[in-house]
Homo-oligomer: A and B are copies of this chain.
């Protein structure tokens, strides 16, 4: 029976019943369990291997059935889930109705926020600390676990600035693996290096002990400083930058040394002021292949370990790779093209482009707002920036797209990967909103690619968009080979592209669902229905001529998108008809419903939303047989209609 010790842990109380010596073998079992599972199904590996001891120590010292534990990003929550009653769910990691790959309050009360976007834990921790204080629950301690790449995100820094004003306990554990998701970026990354090497945890401990013995509760940091002066200061990480934010800073400690971590946390847990504990960890700790290549093993596909060789199961050619190759072409042709990523060089494919054009590929770290404004500045200076970003992270720069890009009419290009349903990452990462919020901006051109030829053509079109912003979306998926039109015609502003003819109904598909539409068309053909499929190509502006012709010829239209059906492409088609006095009783919309779709296979999620081939065929039959579709969006939202917790 594998994992004998881990099996016995039903809840953190079981963990606290163990002796400190037993935690080491438990840590080993946890690492093995995670590695075995991720090698089968894929998932986040290196981040979880790095925080095993930190997680065990936190649960050993705090009681998070009362105290609050906030995870930043959340992709490092597997060890936490394994010791909070979810070991039995591990084999359904990231599967439909299984265990989410991120914290998920629907699974357990030990998960406070479902997160996947970085930088938020300190801010929510400050909120819970203030909330508990105002409600008189001051016995509830608050701890936030934050990585070194997240803590330099703007929201985290805003949170620290506010945390420094707290007059109560708050612990921020800085999990510093010097790695972030890719390489760390920005001046602070270099600064952390210096700090990390500034002293050993032993010296720190000795000095910290001294101070902490003398630290009465209930004191603000200022008082502490005033009262103990130098004596306090030496106990702190020398001149740690977060001191300036008003936090008592300790460390660095070795984030894999359980006895020290537990002792330190015990010293700190009741300290009545905001504290930052700087812990030094190794990303991928425990498996050489992972520590050796923590970027590849940050969130790998399934893989097989053959002795010292590791073999990643290969999937098809992804849109991400297609984008990287297309950019290498464009950048070779036009030296004004630059590409920007916010901490995702691998996820966006730019890691492949950087070696070719080291000066023109920039990684700003997890700072989407800054990256977008920097791109605006570069465009203003005369460059042609392509901000390469996941659709879900584009949401983090909404106001910068508004003010620094769209309002200025600057030609910043946005390449939005992971548009639509994303599969295993679930609700925190779907790209369900980009069409709706980007089409609000005057002069914004919105494009979608359905395969590699159209992605290349779209990027070429955007390269020519010299006096206004543009954005292209493409999914977390493989490109279909062979493409339906290997020699796809060039993009022309506001023009759709016919893929297949038919007289009974026309599907206007925006983005990759066009391929599902073609598959549905084949099925419908067997039923004797003749359906046309158009690659809509543009959500702004939509092809008003085509739409006009179809409406006037009384051809039923089905709009199709892997985006919220409310406010998205179909909504733009409705508006187009309405603004021209065209009737819409023949216009029907298919897209994502007005509710959350949780983790699972992308194919399952498409089926759930009814935008897979079967769902599309079903919708077309229904339209042709009854003349209408059942309402997709749930307009009636009594708050009580919120999905009930799973438990």
Contacts and interface: CB of A to CB of B under 8 A. Distances in A.
Interface of A: 105, 112-117, 120, 123-132, 134-135, 137, 152-165, 185-188, 190-191, 239, 241, 244-247, 336, 338, 359-360, 362, 364-365, 367, 369-370, 373-383, 393, 395-396, 398-400, 402-404, 407-409, 411, 427-428, 432-433, 436-437, 439-440, 442-445, 465-468, 470, 493-494, 540-542, 544, 564-567, 571-572, 574-581, 583-585, 587-589, 594-596, 627-629, 631-643
A128 to B, nearest CB: 4
Given A137-B381, A398-B437, A409-B642, 13 more contacts: A123-B370, A123-B400, A128-B377, A131-B379, A135-B381, A162-B374, A188-B244, A188-B245, A241-B241, A395-B399, A409-B639, A567-B571, A575-B589
B632 A579 contact: yes
A637 B127 contact: no
Nearest to A124: B377
Given A338-B134, A359-B134, A574-B571, A161 B155 contact: no
Contacts of A124: 373-374, 376-377, 380, 404
A457 B528 CA distance: 56
A579 B466 CA distance: 38
A623 to B, nearest CB: 10
Contacts of A393: 399
Nearest to A368: B399
Q: How many copies does the complex hold?
A: 2
A117 B153 CA distance: 19
Contacts of A376: 113, 124, 127
A584 B493 CA distance: 27
Given A132-B381, A153-B158, A637-B468, A578 B584 contact: yes
14 contacts: A158-B365, A161-B370, A188-B244, A191-B245, A244-B244, A433-B440, A436-B440, A442-B596, A442-B634, A443-B637, A540-B637, A567-B567, A574-B575, A579-B631
A167 to B, nearest CB: 11
Nearest to A340: B127
Contact of A585 (B114, B137, B581): B581
B374 A123 contact: yes
B468 A642 contact: yes
A255 B387 CA distance: 37
Contacts of A123: 369-370, 373-374, 377, 400, 404
A101 to B, nearest CB: 15
B135 A382 contact: yes
Given A370-B162, A442-B596, A564-B440, A494 B377 contact: no
Contact of A130 (B374, B408, B445): B374
Contacts of A137: 381
B245 A244 contact: no
A142 to B, nearest CB: 9
Contacts of A400: 120, 123, 155
A593 to B, nearest CB: 8
Given A433-B440, A572-B566, A635 B541 contact: yes
Contacts of A583: 583-585
A159 to B, nearest CB: 5
Tell me which of A158, A165, A433, A439 has the highest count of chain B C-beta atoms within 10 A of its own C-beta.
Answer: A158
A393 B565 CA distance: 26
B575 A380 contact: no
A574 B566 contact: no
B437 A437 contact: yes
A362 B130 contact: yes
A128 B378 contact: yes
A65 to B, nearest CB: 15
Given A123-B374, A245-B188, A113 B380 contact: yes
A220 to B, nearest CB: 11
Contacts of A157: 152, 154, 157-158
A445 to B, nearest CB: 6
Contacts of A245: 186-188, 191
Contacts of A578: 574, 584, 587-589
A637 B445 contact: yes
A167 B549 CA distance: 57
Nearest to A543: B635
A19 B64 CA distance: 68
A246 B191 CA distance: 8
Contacts of A365: 158, 161-162
Contacts of A595: 442
Contact of A162 (B162, B367, B383, B437): B367
In order of increasing CB-CB distance, the 5 nearest A-B pairs are: A127-B377, A154-B154, A131-B381, A164-B187, A187-B246
Nearest to A336: B135
A77 to B, nearest CB: 15
